[in-house]
Amino acid sequence: MNEKYQAMLHRAERGELSEAEIDMVAQELQKVKPEANPYTLLHILGESGAKSYQGLVEQFLESQANPSLAALALQILCTYWGETSQYTGQVLQFLRGVPWDRTEDCRLMAASVAGEHLRTHLEPDLLRELLRIYEDAAERQILREAAYLSLAPLEQKGNLLKGLEKGKHWLGERLAKIR
């Protein structure tokens, strides 16, 4: 990684980038052949908290040539910037899988984002999809584990199933059978 951008990433993590530097990173990221790795540039934008570039980051959600960029864009928008409520449809789409995500980077990130979001929000579709992944023996083990790790803390909080038609203990009973 270019030392200049490595240093910028560390400074972004500490909230020390100027607006001019953030703008320069955004401009570089929009180039056909950027000076630095697009992943690093996108990561800098995310760590800097530059929500004014939300539209630019959103463009990477469809990064079919590089699914790791799509996964990072989802992480930035949802985890770093706390905007999951705006992107639940995208999270669900990634959880279900997209054909271009051959290494399933997007699915793994979506499982993490969904679990975090479900700790404070009721989203039955996300919950059901995580449970479906966990229970499906045909899914890759790493995905099933990611789904479990997203679900387990929710059951421990005891407030997971508010409003779901299956009843308060539905998930707990299902998780107990599988543990």
What is the number of residues in the chain? 179
pTM: 0.86
Side chain identity at residue 68, one-letter code: S
Give me the number of domains the chain comprises.
Answer: 1
DSSP 74-97: HHIIIIIS--GGGGHHHHHHHHH-
Is the CB of residue 40 less than 8 Å from the CB of residue 48? Answer: no
Examine residue 11 and state whether it is found in any structural domain, yes or no: no
pLDDT in tens, 108-128: 999 999 999 998 888 889 999
Structural domain of 79? 73-178
Residue 48 forms part of a structural domain: no
Asked, for residue 164, whether it belongs to a domain, the answer is yes
Q: Which two tokens stand for residue 165?
A: 């038609």
Lookup: tokens for 34: 């950027």
Instruction: Tell me the pLDDT band of 178, cut-offs 50, 70 and 90.
Output: very low
SS3 100: coil
Q: Residue type for 173, please?
A: E
Identify whether 24 is part of a domain.
no
